[in-house]
Amino acid sequence: MVNTNTPTQLCQAAVELIAEQGAAHLTLSAVAERAGVSKGGLLYHFPTKRALLEALLKDLLDKRTSVRALANAGAISAMLEQIISHDIDLLDEERYASQALLAVSAEDPDLLSPAREHINAIVKGIYQHTHLPEAAMTILLATEGLQLLETLGLLELDDDQRKRLREHLRAGKRDIAP
């Protein structure tokens, strides 16, 4: 149970709720109860469920700003390494937040606009800064596809499968950029 009502702690309570009960049970009342605060305390920081979900998305994207910066700077090999290292072993907390965002985005596709901008910036960096953009895109799409399948609960890899996949993607990355 969270003891104070900072936005970070409220987001954490929301992620824990999603992990335990699923994205369909994410309500402001349930988050407030989970966090141990009044609904008014939660509403002070997040006046709507959309505001809470936007904060969850912002947190997910903030964890990826270095990927976008590397793409913009033309450091495609370093960017792909970060994607391979991070997305093949996505943290459960990020997976649960992603589940909530996917569930809500079916009703409100505009909610994912910041994520669209993020991905488009990475793709633009790939096409501007590498001589083999399709190879770089294949690695990006493979890791993002794996992440999506696991987020949806459609795929589960064991540790050996993850290790071999990571090695395979890194081998492909060597051909793209030093």
pLDDT by residue (tens digit) across 93-121? 888 778 878 877 877 889 899 999 999 99
> Does CATH number 1.10.10.60 belong to domain 7-47?
yes
Q: What is the pLDDT of residue 4?
A: 54
Q: What is the pLDDT of residue 2?
A: 43
State which residues of the chain have pLDDT below 70: 1-5, 177-178
Whole-model pTM?
Answer: 0.84
- Residues 23 and 126: their CA atoms lie apart, in Å, by 33
HSE of 64, CA atoms in CB hemisphere, 13 A: 23
Q: What is the pLDDT of residue 103?
A: 75
Measure the CA angle with vertex 47, ends 44 and 50; round to 5°.
140
What's at 7, amino acid-wise? P
Q: What is the pLDDT of residue 104?
A: 75
